[in-house]
């Protein structure tokens, strides 16, 4: 294998040749493009329930997200290498165009003129989301490399911090904008909104950005590109399907995908070691900053996405926040993340070192994970806010500083491939971490639910205790329904109000034969859960009410059953709340270990200085002036 060690002939140092106004316009266009990619990951999730309902595609619900992540993650390292060979500008513009075409098609999914293409509207959306991911991979991988092209090393951290803030802002704006567009306009505008933003970004990039070429002249490693796709896609599919429970972990399907992925990885390493310009140069792993930094980013990816996903689940299942509002309920985490990203970038530029800030950030993140591991069923929302801010402050520095470290550790003409490789490892960490934590959640919730239902049975008597113990036994044997984890649980006040209304309707139906009350009783959710013989006493009430001699006895028996039902419902809600809180806090205990491993990997990185400007050289303005 021949490595490119000498500076390519004709390479331009854009950081020194471009004027500041041009850099500002380029940066604005690139930030818009990156905002598109980041926003799309949060805005769509809010609209998914409505989309699923209209397109009648509940069975493909998770695939709308999975298809996007599969193509996005798998193509990141390929785009990075292509941008080194052909320049950032053409690759970024191609990515934006593909993304906008995908967005327009997603908005058209299910329209009558598309007919039965791909088998129906929901499958059309899945396919078009995959196309969106093909474009989004270029937006993410190339955007971070452009910072290194435009700005000198001493200025990069503060601008990388600005890019980190874009991800934070998108996680706040996405759910709000997605909810507004879905409720007030149409879910299709969740995708159409990308078009004007993307066209503005394209205009800025096309008119103001130079090619930003590295000067490398080499043929594309198409076999390596193919093999990395065949490695990444089956691996991600296996992890997603295993975590979602579509297939058992030891099923032939999952094992076959893992086997295909492993074989492709071996072939990929063989091909890369012999190609003159590999998609992922293996020589990069001889660089300690790159090797340890990639490992740290893998760990951070697992902890970062897991923190957000399971924090949202805690807020829904334990705090009682609606599933729609869960995205905005994590705003304190986002605020901490933005402050951490921008603040660490500014400080690193002034200090001339990044490693101390990385280590401080990971210690803070570890403390944040520890604080989250102490959450319980009765933690107040304000105490959760403090924990979220602490974790955000710790994870924030990871966004700009690791990218800066990887870029400074390689040759300028390797920046594209090094940047995208780091991002690839982080996204793979997110997927693998989510799958592992998801498996821990599934196993943990089942065990904790059985324990909590048994505890509730022990604190009750009679029919209530027997019913709760049976639920506990059914959970242990695997015969109990799992329910919807994303559904907002009923709070005790709502349960009591619902049963109070049921008592009133039962009393009216039995005493006076009120038809409206009788219909409400028959349609009550609690009554419908009862076995047929138990339902009979509520559904077979005579039209004129129960005759006087038996009325009090029938009413007393019916109300006694309702009282037991209320106790069982309240005890079940409490058991579920405690079980979820205990399980999610245990996941954060594992996250402490992930943060510790990222800390150790970072500790192994050389403590390199950020190159300073020559004495008397004019400093570039800070991003606050943009």
- Residue 625's pLDDT is 27
Q: Which two tokens stand for residue 226?
A: 């193919």
- One DSSP character per residue, 502-558 reads HHHHHHHHHHH--HHHHHHHHT-HHHHHS-HHHHHHHH---TT---HHHHHHHHHHH
User: For 409-497, where are the E strands, in sequence order?
Assistant: none
Q: Give the tens place of pLDDT for each residue, 448-459.
A: 888 888 888 888
Q: Residue 67: exposed, middle, or buried by beta-carbon count in 10 A (0-12, 13-18, 19+)?
A: buried
**Residue 152: Cβ within 10 Å count:** 17
At residue 484, the 3 state secondary structure works out as: coil
Is the CB of residue 340 less than 8 Å from the CB of residue 346? no
State residue 501's pLDDT score: 87
Cα-based torsion angle of the residue sequence 413, 226, 191, 98 in order, rounded to the nearest 10 degrees: 60
Q: What is the pLDDT of residue 622?
A: 36
Q: pLDDT tens across 245-292, in order? A: 777 888 888 899 899 999 999 998 888 888 777 778 888 888 888 899
* Residues lower than pLDDT 50 in the chain: 1-3, 615-616, 619-626
Dist. CA 79–CA 95, nearest whole Å: 9
- Contact between 81 and 420 under an 8 Å Cβ cutoff? The reply is yes
Q: What pLDDT does 107 receive?
A: 87
DSSP string, 568-583: HHHHHHHHHHHHHHHH
């Amino acid at each position: 294998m021949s490595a490119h060690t000498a500076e390519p002939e004709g390479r331009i140092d854009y950081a020194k040749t471009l004027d500041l106004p041009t850099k500002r316009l380029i940066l604005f266009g690139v930030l818009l493009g990156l905002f598109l990619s980041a926003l799309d990951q949060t805005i769509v999730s809010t609209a998914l329930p409505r989309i699923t309902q209209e397109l009648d595609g509940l069975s493909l619900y998770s695939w709308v997200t999975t298809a996007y992540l599969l193509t996005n993650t798998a193509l990141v390292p390929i785009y990075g290498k292509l941008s080194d060979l052909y320049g950032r500008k053409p690759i970024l513009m191609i990515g934006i165009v593909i993304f906008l075409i995908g967005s327009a098609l997603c908005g058209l999914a299910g329209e009558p003129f598309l007919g039965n293409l791909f088998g129906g509207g929901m499958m059309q959306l899945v396919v078009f989301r995959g196309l969106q991911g093909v474009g989004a991979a270029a937006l993410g991988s190339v955007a971070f490399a452009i910072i290194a092209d435009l700005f000198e090393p001493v200025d990069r951290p503060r601008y990388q911090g600005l890019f980190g803030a874009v991800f934070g802002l998108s996680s706040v704006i996405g759910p709000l904008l997605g909810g507004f567009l879905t409720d007030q306009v149409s879910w299709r505008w969740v995708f159409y909104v990308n078009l004007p933003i993307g066209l503005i970004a394209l205009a800025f990039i096309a008119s103001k950005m130079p090619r930003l070429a590295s000067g490398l002249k080499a043929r594309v490693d198409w076999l390596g590109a193919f093999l990395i796709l065949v490695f990444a896609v089956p691996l991600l599919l296996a992890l997603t399907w295993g975590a979602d429970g579509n297939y058992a972990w030891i099923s032939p399907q999952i094992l076959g995908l893992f086997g295909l992925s492993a074989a492709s990885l071996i072939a990929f390493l063989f091909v890369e070691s012999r190609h003159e310009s590999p998609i992922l140069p293996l020589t990069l792993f001889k660089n300690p900053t790159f090797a340890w930094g990639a490992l740290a980013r893998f760990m951070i990816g697992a902890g970062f996405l897991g923190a957000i996903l399971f924090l949202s689940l805690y807020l829904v299942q334990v705090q009682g926040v609606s599933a729609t509002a869960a995205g905005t309920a994590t705003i304190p985490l986002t605020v901490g993340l933005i402050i951490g990203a921008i603040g660490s970038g500014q400080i690193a530029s002034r200090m001339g070192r990044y490693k101390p800030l990385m280590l401080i950030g990971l210690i803070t993140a570890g403390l944040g994970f520890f604080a989250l591991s102490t959450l319980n069923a009765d933690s107040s929302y304000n105490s959760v806010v403090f924990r979220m801010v602490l974790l955000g402050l710790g994870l924030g520095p990871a966004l700009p500083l690791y990218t800066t470290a990887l870029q400074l550790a390689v040759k300028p003409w390797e920046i594209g491939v090094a940047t995208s490789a780091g991002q690839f490892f982080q996204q793979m960490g997110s997927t693998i971490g989510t799958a592992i934590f998801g498996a821990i959640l599934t196993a943990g919730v089942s065990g904790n639910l059985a324990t909590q239902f048994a505890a509730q049975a022990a604190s009750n008597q009679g029919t209530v205790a027997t019913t709760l113990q049976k639920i506990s036994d059914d959970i242990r044997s695997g015969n109990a329904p799992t329910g919807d984890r994303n559904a907002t649980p009923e709070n005790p006040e709502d349960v009591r109000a619902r049963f109070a209304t049921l008592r009133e309707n039962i009393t009216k139906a039995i005493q006076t034969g009120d038809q409206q009350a009788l219909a409400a009783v028959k349609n009550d959710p609690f009554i419908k859960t009862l076995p047929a013989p138990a339902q009979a006493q509520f559904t077979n009430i005579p039209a004129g009410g129960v005759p006087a001699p038996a009325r009090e006895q029938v009413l007393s028996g019916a109300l006694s059953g309702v009282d037991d039902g209320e106790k069982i419902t309240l005890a079940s809600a409490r058991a579920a709340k405690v079980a979820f809180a205990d399980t999610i806090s245990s996941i954060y205990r594992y996250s402490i270990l992930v943060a510790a491993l990222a800390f150790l990997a970072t500790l192994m990185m050389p403590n390199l200085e950020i190159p300073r400007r020559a004495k008397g050289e004019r400093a570039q303005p800070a991003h606050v002036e943009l």
